[in-house]
Amino acid sequence: MDYSNYPPIPNLPSLNLPKVVIVGGGFAGLKLVLSLRNSGFQIILLDKNNYHQFQPLFYQVATAGLEPSAIAFPLRKIFHGASNMSFRMAEAENVDAKEKRLYTDIGYIDYDYLVLAMGADTNYFGAKNIEYYSSPMKTVSEALYIRNKIISNYERAITIPKMEDRKSLMNMVIVGGGPTGVELAGAMAELRNNVFPKDYPELSFKNMKVVLIEAGPKLLGAMSEQAQKHALKYLQDLGVEVFLSTRVLDYDGKVVSLAEKEPIQTQTLLWAAGIKPNHIAGFDPSQFAGNGRMLVNEFNQLIGSDGVYVLGDQCLLPEGDFPKGHPQVAQVAIQQARNLSKNLFKQKKGQALSPFKYKNHGSMATVGRKLAVVDLPFFSFQGALAWLTWLFVHLMAILGVKNKVFIFLDWSWNYLSFDPSLRLLIKPKYVRASERKELIEEKSSPD
């Protein structure tokens, strides 16, 4: 694309301060923005959405446990009362590192420091059919789409007379044995066991399969062996069929083809098998690792580009215990952003910078009601206490008092009643302008 006649982003305030442009309002970008609030920098945050999304709870939106607004927080609200901060809803397209200029779909902006925190997207590993027919879960919109798809399938299934013809609508197949896949499989099994039979008494849920497929030999590969064994047992106790060391070969929208196993009929394939970093043009191929992550030094500065920093899922910093880079989890992104904010102040004062060192605070995953696994640096535990720990940690991490209250009330109701109340099939209705005009004229006609 020719950017020679590109205009600047309009209506940005002109402050006599070093300009920090942050691309991405995820965990890393948000933490950095909050750390630099009312500081001696001009902060400009760009994101393609005008809200922050709390990704660890996407699966609860997909399974009707939470409403989408409960895990989303408006980015502009963070900027209230901060004179040095601006937000623009835009998509970053290209960087001219020599000119220190970022091009977006709404214009360009010059920067003193550019921070790329664009996160990651779903990785289909080149499988085009799976990409076309399966359902990913990397945004609130995708989670809401899954909820609508599941409910729509059951509304359709109840109108089909033959049990054999209903199987593909009722079966759920989840691919990926990480925390997202495990949590999604557990939530779907609990819906099948306790909720759907009350909503659809005409259907036999003994015929509904919930299948979790993992290409590796174990679930939750990054967690302890104790956590892996308990997670597998919890899922099996809930009636989830777990296929380990199993590759998905293809999917045509109705049948999942597996390596060395019988195919599975389903119209709902939920893909949680991998992620790939979001890409931005303008950098040399040597600045990228083979998996698409951008190579940074110990200060999270992009190697070969002055003033450009990369955080979170998008960057790769081989060090010590992480020769292949840090895990692509929220804690890494948050800690990198915290360290970078300190270094920006140090750089401004001419002080020596502090290298990033990741402190592993532990990991956790919930499988179902009173079922979870927690790994802390010095010990692991499972069961009801782990479940309560998971609830508390995630509730405290949610932005906004209102969201915390709503989520607490939803969780309390779901626990007491075992009946999540958000099973609503809400679809946008698109009507072309010409059709809308005809409808209005028809209604206003005296005949």
How many CB atoms lie under 10 A from the CB of residue 364? 22
156 and 167 within one domain: yes
Regions of the chain with pLDDT less than 70: 416-447
The Cα 123–Cα 80 span in angstroms is 36
**Is 268 part of any domain?**
yes
- Tell me which DSSP letter residue 394 carries: H
**Is 314 part of any domain?**
yes
Domain boundary among 303, 319, 349: 349
First-to-last C-alpha distance (Å) of the chain: 54
Model pLDDT, residue 303: 96
Residue 172 structure tokens:
């759920």
207 and 164 within one domain: yes
* Nearest CA-CA partner of 367 in 216, 210, 258: 210
The CATH number that applies at residue 33 is 3.50.50.60
- The DSSP code sequence of 116-130 is E---EEE--TT-HHH
Model pLDDT, residue 418: 67
282 and 260 within one domain: no
320 and 239 within one domain: no
- Tell me which DSSP letter residue 312 carries: G
The Cα 108–Cα 10 span in angstroms is 9
- The DSSP code sequence of 237-281 is HTT-EEE-S--EEEE-SSEEEETTEEEEE-S-EEE-S-EEE---B
175 and 248 within one domain: yes
**Is 220 part of any domain?**
yes
Domain boundary among 292, 324, 349: 349
143 and 114 within one domain: no
The Cα 317–Cα 297 span in angstroms is 6
The Cα 209–Cα 1 span in angstroms is 48
258 and 144 within one domain: yes
247 and 151 within one domain: yes
The Cα 234–Cα 249 span in angstroms is 27
Count the helix, strand and coil residues of the chain and give each as a percent rounded to the nearest 5. 35, 25, 40
The Cα 391–Cα 360 span in angstroms is 19
332 and 223 within one domain: no
283 and 264 within one domain: no
**Is 227 part of any domain?**
yes
Asked whether the CA dihedral 16, 19, 25, 30 is positive or negative, the reply is: negative
**Is 65 part of any domain?**
yes
State the residue range of the domain holding 52. Answer: 19-122+275-349
Model pLDDT, residue 127: 94
**Is 354 part of any domain?**
no
Domain boundary among 273, 297, 318: 273
pLDDT tens-place string over residues 254-278: 999 999 899 999 999 999 998 999 9
Model pLDDT, residue 296: 97
Q: According to the 3-state scheme, what is the secondary structure of 80-93?
A: CCCCCEEEEECCEE
169-183 residues labelled b (16+ CB within 10 A) or e (exposed): bbbbbbbbbbbbbbb
The CATH number that applies at residue 242 is 3.50.50.100
Residue 365 structure tokens:
């995953």
Residue 231 structure tokens:
């997670």
194 and 300 within one domain: no
Q: What is the number of structural domains in the chain?
A: 2
246 and 167 within one domain: yes
Q: What are phi and psi of 317, to 5 degrees?
A: -130, 95
The Cα 242–Cα 116 span in angstroms is 37
**Is 81 part of any domain?**
yes
**Is 253 part of any domain?**
yes
SS3 assignment, position 3: coil
**Average pLDDT, whole number, for the chain?**
91
- Which residues, 6+ apart, have CB-to-CB distance to 194 below 8 Å? 418, 419
